[in-house]
Amino acid sequence: DGGITQSPKYLFRKEGQNVTLSCEQNLNHDAMYWYRQDPGQGLRLIYYSQIVNDFQKGDIAEGYSVSREKKESFPLTVTSAQKNPTAFYLCASNQEGTGYGYTFGSGTRLTVV
């Protein structure tokens, strides 16, 4: 079955460390997205990529970095510059980079200890 896989499900990070969240899809989708979810704030767009080797900042990109070297993969690095990284991170993909037909992963919960 096609889908989108995020790993790990839970991640703990010490202050000052960088950490990378994995997102892989086998849906042959061109576009991929990273959203951050905090209680009472909905989903906020961090970065998105409409095609391989290209990506754009979303609304809250500071302290995060991404790469898109392969169509299937869109890893997110949470750097030490992100002041409040504890959150639930969701990856999504769709075919054409519009709002239609998003498929979401099951998320990674990152906690800073």
Residue 20 CB, shortest distance to other proteins, in Å, is 19
Judged by beta carbon, residue 72 or residue 89, the one nearer other proteins is 89
Beta strands 4-7; 54-57: pairing state: unpaired
Q: Which residues bind other proteins (CB under 8 A)?
A: 33, 35, 40-45, 48, 56, 58-59, 90, 92, 97-102, 104-107
Instruction: Tokens for 89, please give them.
Output: 């991170």
Q: Are 110 and 64 in contact (CB under 8 A)?
A: no
Judged by beta carbon, residue 16 or residue 40, the one nearer other proteins is 40
Judged by beta carbon, residue 80 or residue 97, the one nearer other proteins is 97
Residue 112 CB, shortest distance to other proteins, in Å, is 19
Residue 99 CB, shortest distance to other proteins, in Å, is 3
Measured distance CA(70)–CA(45) in Å, rounded? 21
Judged by beta carbon, residue 17 or residue 98, the one nearer other proteins is 98
26-45 burial, b if ≥16 CB within 10 A, otherwise e? ebebebbbbbbeeeeeebeb
Residue 97 CB, shortest distance to other proteins, in Å, is 6
Q: Are 56 and 66 in contact (CB under 8 A)?
A: no
